[in-house]
Structure 1
Amino acid sequence: MHKPLLCLMSMLFLLACGITSTTEEAEAPEGFTGAAGEVKIITLDPGHFHAALVQKSMYEQVDSNVYVYAPEGPDAQDHLNRVGNYNERAESPTSWNEVVYQGSDFQQKMIREKKGNVVVISGNNEAKTEYIHASVEAGLNVLADKPMVITPEDFSLLEESFKIADENGVLLYDIMTERHEITTMLQKALSQIPSVFGELEKGTPENPAITKESVHHFFKYVSGNVLKRPPWFFDSKQQGEGLVDISTHLVDLIQWECFPEEVISYPGDIEMISAKRWPTPLTEEQFKTVTHLEQIPDNIPVEDGKVLPYSNGEMIYRIKGVCAKISVIWNYQAPEGTGDTHFSIMRGTKADLVIRQGEAENYQPVLYIEAVEADSDLEKTLPAALSNIIGKSYPGVTFEKMEAGKWRVQIPEKYKVGHEAHFAQVTEKYLGYLIDGKLPDWEVPNMLAKYYTTTQALRMAREE
């Protein structure tokens, strides 16, 4: 047989087998480019309303078909109802098409079919770390609601998940909405201006350099409707305790504000000083109201006729030598006209930056600048900071003098987009990271440091 004909037949055989005959290394699969519809979302076992909030907006880069894999039960239907409401609303309706599979083998089927390339995970936290691990192991990107892990025992599985994600070239990221809250963004920005803030104090356990306190409520409104909580939300073993749930945001903000773009190592940079936990007692009637159930399920812990989720917690710790305090409180319902509240203070050598959200602020977050010394020169330095730094990044922001040494930061309404809108902002940022093919160098180590902090706090509190 002639040599050219032999070569041609060999090439045809190799092509038929799906093998290239080139001696060069095969090109890696193309990554994300930002093209319309290239991101295909899989929603895995949605049980928390945050899963739907990711879809409150449409994204050009995201395909309108979303593949939902979940067990049989009300959680998935509640999720579909929320997304359906977004599709049917009068103003800026979405156009999602939910392709649903429900069955006991939902996780295995999701991995087997791989109909999408980004898994959104927001639901029962007891299984979340395992869901994350299985998804990245299957070569799928993951956008996960907090917390990624709720027990010290599962922290090593999260560490392994990040390692596998790196090996498989996929991005594992958690939804840190509070980085997009305008008062927090300005608190961070002002803390980086030495002429205003000075330097961050080191603080003590009795008087920490930075304190963040968060108050939440089981009965609340979301997207204009009374929020229906799943029953497992009140079981600390499934939802996670306050020290590892809401506190995730607060630990993240401390890292993000105090040490911007710096890598936080653990355990070296983290020293837990104290931690405690306590429950929020709920009556049977209160439980029924927020779950829409006729009775308390047998698998929900009850003591003396009350449901007792360990939703409250406090931790004091040092991070890179700076003393910080975090407190999370859950009440049943906020007083009329109020809602969830946030308090935060960063203590500098020249000024304290304080976010308050009490009655004086009409229960809306307000940022104050408070001089440390009575004879402070802030009167002179603030105008320059406003025009040269803050004004350029946040046009329209001004300062109103309240009294000697105290100013209120005036923020235009255009920046106050609200908590629900922050989910779209986080998603947009994540889509950008997919195009880049990587997260910022500090994000992964700091996510791990964050969850090390929360799980170590829980470990200490349990031992008290």
Structure 2
Amino acid sequence: MKKLPLKSYVLLLLFSAVCYSCSDSDSVNDKERKNRFTGADNEVKLMTVDPGHFHAGLVQKYGYDQVDSVSYVYAPEGSDGLKRHLKRIEQYNNREEDPTNWVIQVYSGPDFFEKMIEEQPGNVVVLAGNNARKTEYIKRSVDAGLNVLSDKPMVIKPERFPMLREALSQAEEKGVLLYDIMTERFEITTLLQRRLSQYPDVFGSLKNGSPENPAITKESVHHFFKYVSGRPLTRPGWFFDVDQQGEAIVDVSTHLVDMILWETFPGEGIDTTDVEVLQADRWATEMTPGEFEKVTQMEPYPDYLQEDLDEEGKLQVFANGSFVFEVKGVHGKVSVEWDYQAPEGAGDTHYSIMRGSKANLVIRQGEEQDYVPTLYVEPLAENIGEEYEGALRDAIDEIGREYPALSLSESSAGWQVMIPEKYRVGHEAHFAQVTEQYLQYLVEGEIPEWERKNLLTKYYLTTQAYKKSR
């Protein structure tokens, strides 16, 4: 055999090494390409898993240039949630004003999740449905190298919290983005409450408060029967099973805890070691068989709800809860209540107060406000006067550069912030705003550290409160 010259032999070895390296890293490069985003049109492809909650549809109420119009749904065969989801998307596609153009490819079967992991026709998993297995779905999606946009809550039982912690750690290692849908940050009164709290001449400094009189309180009242996109909302039967949907303390409270961390420590990541749950409570909402049938379109009651019936056959839904916690010496309180149906002309309501050394910033949404969220600035007695009013008006003028046409009107205890109607886009539109934020994070290639820390900490708080309530 003719020997190769030394120089040719070295070149051949180098070429072989390069070829081996390329073939060995093909799968890695494929993953990297799948998770590298530039903001180009249609580069994000959605895969919605078991869309049992209407929030899955609201993610797609509007279209996005960055998101491919072809999206994929994986769900159990014959699922009512799937039928309602497809009907909702069809409604968005066929509306007269700003119609969408979604094309939905559906796989349905008992192995729907395994099929999604196997096929992976998209690069972002959307989760909004039955919460019993959501933490598992999150973890397995991240393990498969997929980005995840999840409705709250990401976890409903304390024993599943370590799995969420591991998923977040894995997401960071794999370079995929795990994010939850925190719509309430985009409500205009909450945005302005946060901004005004950052003006020392207006708000002063946040008080530490106490368990009896917290520095910041968030309360919300929700309703089982409501209208979404102009139509009566049909809820699945499992929504009323707290082992599948989650109790209020681990469900809607997620929003309230998120806002407290986001408002009181803006841009600062809060570690789980910085917080402690001090007290917690839970109680039930009663539903008659007729009310259950009206909101679910099911005859009462599925087997999994039988143990929640009282002696009169009424369903006891432990959908209500409250808890007080401490974060870096500051006391906060969250409270969530579910009624069956809102009074005529009313809807879900929100109340919030931030207590400062110079003024309280209060959001009210009661009958006096025509059930519209309204922000008040209520200075403490020693701060009433022209000098304080001047500082407040200067702050409103400065914030008005971002939100033009803001103004002030005197109220019984101070001032009402007058907010133009164009900024009140509504709860359903907030889903698009969260999605757009997530799409931006995909382009940036990471979620800010403070966001990742606070995501874990808020679920630590809700699951600790769940334990404390018992």
TM range (shorter): over 0.9
Of the three residues 181, 186, 189, the one matched with 1:183 is 189
> In 1, distance between residues paired with 2:237 and 2:55?
16
Instruction: Compute the displacement of 1:294 (Å).
Output: 2.5
Q: Work out whether 1:260 is the aligned partner of 2:270.
A: no
2:249 counterpart (243, 246, 262): 243
Aligned residue number for residue 340 of structure 2:
332
Structure 2 counterpart of 1:29: 32
In structure 2, the residue matched to 1:303 is 310
Runs of 5+ in structure 1 lacking a partner? none
- Whole-Å separation in 1 of the counterparts to 2:63 and 2:14: 46
Maintained 8 Å contact 2:31/2:145: no
SS of 2:44 mapped into structure 1: coil
Q: Does 1:397 align with 2:389?
A: no
Distance 1:8 1:423, change over 3 A: same
2:74 to 62, 69, 72: 69
Which one-letter code corresponds to 2:310 in the other structure? E
Q: Answer with 301-310 or 88-97: which moved more.
A: 301-310
Indicate yes or no: 2:159 matched with 1:153: yes
Q: Which amino acid aligns with 1:395?
A: P
Asked if the contact 2:283–2:321 (Cα under 8 Å) also holds between the matched residues in 1, the reply is yes
Residues 125-161 of structure 1 deviation map (CA, whole Å, 9 limit, x = unaligned): 0110000000000000000000000011100000010
| Equivalent AA in structure 2 for residue 393 of structure 1 | E
Question: What 5-or-longer segments of structure 2 have no aligned partner?
Answer: none
Deviation, 1:379, is 1.7
Give the match for residue 383 of structure 1.
393
Distance 2:160 2:390 in 1: 52
Output the CA distance in 2 between the equivalents of 1:12 and 1:373: 80
Counterpart for residue 232 of structure 2: 226
Structure 2 residue corresponding to 1:280, chosen from 278, 285, 310: 285
Letter in 2 for 1:290: V
Counterpart contact for 2:135–2:163, Cα < 8 Å: yes
CA deviation map 1:216-255 (0-9, x unaligned): 0000000000000000000000000010100000000000
Are residues 1:144 and 2:147 paired?
Answer: no
2: distance between equivalents of 1:331 and 1:149?
23
Q: How does 1:57-456 map to 2 (within 5 A)?
A: 57-72=62-77, 73-266=79-272, 268-301=273-306, 302-304=309-311, 305-376=313-384, 377-387=387-397, 389-403=398-412, 406-456=414-464
1:393 Cα deviation after fit: 2.1
1:14 CA displacement: 8.3
Distance change (3 Å), C-alpha of 1:66 and 1:264: same
Q: 1:50 aligns with which of 40, 45, 55?
A: 55
Aligned partner of 2:32: which letter? P
Alpha carbons 1:276, 1:461 under 8 Å: kept: yes
Q: Helix, strand or coil for the counterpart of 1:456?
A: helix
Equivalent AA in structure 2 for residue 384 of structure 1: D
1:201, distance to aligned residue in structure 2 (A): 0.6
C-alpha spacing 1:324/1:16, structure 2 compared with 1 (3 Å): closer
- For the Cα contact (< 8 Å) 1:11–1:21, is it kept in 2? no
What is the identity percentage for the equivalent residue pairs of Structure 1 and Structure 2? 55
Distance 2:14 2:166 in 1: 42
CA distance in 2, matches of 1:363, 1:35: 41
| Counterpart-to-counterpart distance in 1, 2:30 and 2:438 | 25
Maintained 8 Å contact 1:37/1:62: yes
CA RMSD of aligned residues (A): 2.2
The CA distance in 2 between the partners of 1:453 and 1:253, in whole Å, is: 13
- Secondary structure, aligned partner of 1:382: helix
Give CA deviations for 1:150-198 in whole Å, capped at 9, x if unaligned: 0111000000100111111100000000000000000000000000000
Three-state SS of the structure 2 residue aligned to 1:378 is: helix
Partner residue of 1:38 out of 38, 43, 46: 43
Quick one: distance in 2 between partners of 1:28 and 1:83? 29
Distance 2:173 2:323 in 1: 34
Secondary structure in 1 matching 2:378: strand
Deviations 1:101-120 (A, max 9, x none): 00011111100111110000
Q: 1:14·1:21 contact (CA, 8 Å) conserved in 2? A: no
SS in 1 for 2:400: helix
Amino acid at match of 2:375: L
After superposition, the Cα gap between the structure-2 partners of 1:17 and 1:382, relative to the gap in structure 1 and judged at 3 Å, is closer
Q: Give me the whole-angstrom Cα distance separating, in 1, the residues matched to 2:24 and 2:459.
A: 47
Q: What residue identity is the alignment partner of 2:58?
A: L
In 2, are the aligned partners of 1:344 and 1:354 still within 8 Å (CA)? yes
The alpha carbon displacement at 1:29 in A equals 3.2
Distance 2:52 2:326 in 1: 34
The answer to whether the Cα contact below 8 Å between 2:72 and 2:121 also exists between their aligned partners in 1 is: yes
CA deviation digits over 1:71-111, x for unaligned, max 9? 12211111111111111111111111110000011111100
Q: Secondary structure at the match of 2:453?
A: helix
